[in-house]
Structure 1
Amino acid sequence: MTKWLSAFLSEIDEAVSEDVEHQVDNRLKQQNTYFWVDSTPVSVASSKQVLPTIGRINLAYTPPEYRRKGYATTCVAALSQKLLDQGCRHCFLIADLANSTANHIYQAIGYRPLSDWHEYSFTSKQ
């Protein structure tokens, strides 16, 4: 999981911090991270119930060697259904608009775009 989380953070251009192991420990302790297994783990998704009736998928990752086989679709769909079964009336996730594969997957399992989000970073010039 540590290797997968580091790879996920690198792919989404987030800084890979030294505390990846701590992040993994927290996810596993919270029991909100789920692996899709096909004789070996092939995909992972994590969630959080942010309000009593709203759940969020906050991580979805499949290593390159397992992509394009439907694992991510099945993993995210199953976790979304689990949130609904636990009483959430709504599930959401944030997806990169530039990732057409992920956006296609999410829409295929019932997610729909609601709004765009832009993130800006400002640095001082010295």
Structure 2
Amino acid sequence: MAARLADEGENPHGFSGDRKSVEALVTAWRQRTGDTVVEHRRERLYNLGTLTAPAPMPAGRARVADRGDRDLLVRWAQEYATAIGEPDRRDFGVWADGRLAYGGVTLWENDGGEPVAMVGSSRLVAGQVRIAPVYTPIHLRGRGYGSAVTAAAAQAALVGGAADVLLFTDLANATSNAIYQRLGFRPVTDFVTYRL
């Protein structure tokens, strides 16, 4: 792959995938091109085993986002991209519209009815639903909202027919890895992203 990309004049921004495969590709790319390639992020893929509700459960409730939430979803998606250090060039309005079209965002509302966290979910494909992104604004973190909304989205995926509920975590974020494991997510394999 490295030889073909280089020979065809391709200029990738980086490589991402399971650790073993990507590290082999990066080695071949460096040998072929002499480019500097640096590790950017290590992630772990998780699959839901038995869903365990957060304890204690924060006050409030989950609900599926609707068109009236669009501006909030756009803003939170932008904040999420910034928080994880991704120079995401997506049109977040398009992202929000796509998710709203099939009920692909769940919000957690506090007991006053104010949205305090969100989680996105993919459509059901081949028996799988992927959860991403999970976002709680900084000033609202540490109250269990992210755990609660993730559990609600995972439960909805199971009820909707998902055999596998998947999510990725940044291995540098010990807190999120611990939270998802407490909810019943089990490690599958590690992924790595390199940037040129």
User: What is the TM-score normalised by the length of structure 2?
Assistant: 0.59
Instruction: State the Cα distance separating 1:46 from its structure 2 match.
Output: 0.8
85-94 or 26-35: which moved more?
A: 26-35
Instruction: State the Cα distance separating 1:50 from its structure 2 match.
Output: 4.5
SS in 2 for 1:116: strand
CA contact (8 A) 2:119 2:149 kept: yes
Tell me which protein shows more strand as a share of its residues: 2
Alignment of 1:75-114 (within 5 A): 75-114=149-188
Bigger RCO of structures 1 and 2 (CA < 8 A, at least 6 apart)? 2
Structure 1: 4+ residue segments shifted above 2 A: 49-52
Matched residue count: 122
Contiguous gaps of at least 5 residues in structure 1: none
Matching residue's letter, 1:33: V
CA contact (8 A) 2:129 2:164 kept: yes
Distance 1:76 1:96 in 2: 16
Instruction: State the Cα distance separating 1:90 from its structure 2 match.
Output: 1.3
Instruction: State the Cα distance separating 1:2 from its structure 2 match.
Output: 1.6
Instruction: State the Cα distance separating 1:18 from its structure 2 match.
Output: 6.3
User: What is the TM-score normalised by the length of structure 1?
Assistant: 0.89
Q: What is the aligned-residue identity percentage?
A: 32
Distance 1:54 1:18 in 2: 24
Counterpart position of 2:22: none
Q: In the alignment, is residue 12 of structure 1 matched against residue 81 of structure 2?
A: no
Distance 1:78 1:27 in 2: 16
Distance 2:90 2:170 in 1: 24
Q: CA RMSD in A?
A: 1.4
Question: Among 147, 165, 186, which residue is 1:73 paired with?
Answer: 147
Quick check: which has more Rg, 1 or 2?
A: 2
